Structure 1
Amino acid sequence: MSIPRFLDIEYCQTDDALFPTAIAWSLANGQMKTVVIAPEDDWLPEDGDLGDTDLRYLEEQGVPLLEIARELHEDLPDQTVYVDGLDPDEVLVDLMFSAIGHEPPFEIAPIGDLISGMDSESLEDRRRQLLFDEGLEPRLPENGVYALLLLAREEGYLSDL
Structure 2
Amino acid sequence: MPAPRFLDIEYCQTDDTLFPTAMAWSLEDGRMKTVVIAPSDDWLPEDGDLGDIDLLYLEEQGVPLIELTRELHQDLPDQTVYVDGLDPDEILIDLIFTAVDQEAPFEIAPISELITGLDSETLEDRRRQLLFEETLEPQLPENGVYALLLMAREEGLFDEDL
Normalised by the size of structure 2, how large is the TM-score? 0.98
Q: RMSD of aligned C-alpha atoms?
A: 0.6
1:106 CA drift (Å): 0.3
* Equivalent residue number for residue 122 of structure 2: 122
Distance 2:145 2:3 in 1: 13
Q: Secondary structure at the match of 1:10?
A: strand
* Equivalent residue number for residue 47 of structure 2: 47
1:70 CA drift (Å): 0.5
Q: Secondary structure at the match of 1:11?
A: strand
Alignment of 1:54-93 (within 5 A): 54-93=54-93
* Equivalent residue number for residue 132 of structure 1: 132
Q: What amino acid maps onto 2:14 in structure 1?
A: T
- Residue-by-residue CA offset, 1:29-54 (whole Å, 9 max, x unaligned): 10000000000011000000000111
Distance 1:69 1:101 in 2: 10
* Equivalent residue number for residue 23 of structure 1: 23
**Structure 1 unmatched runs, 5+:** none
Q: Secondary structure at the match of 2:21?
A: strand
* Equivalent residue number for residue 108 of structure 2: 108
Q: Secondary structure at the match of 2:127?
A: helix
1:2 CA drift (Å): 2.7
Q: Percent sequence identity over matched residues? A: 78
1:159 CA drift (Å): 1.8
* Equivalent residue number for residue 146 of structure 1: 146
> After the TM superposition, which parts of structure 1 deviate over 6 Å for at least 4 consecutive aligned residues?
none
Distance 1:87 1:15 in 2: 16
Normalised by the size of structure 1, how large is the TM-score? 0.99
Distance 1:51 1:128 in 2: 25
Matched residue count:
161
Alignment of 1:6-17 (within 5 A): 6-17=6-17
1:3 CA drift (Å): 1.5
* Equivalent residue number for residue 155 of structure 1: 155
Distance 1:2 1:40 in 2: 34
**Structure 2 unmatched runs, 5+:** none
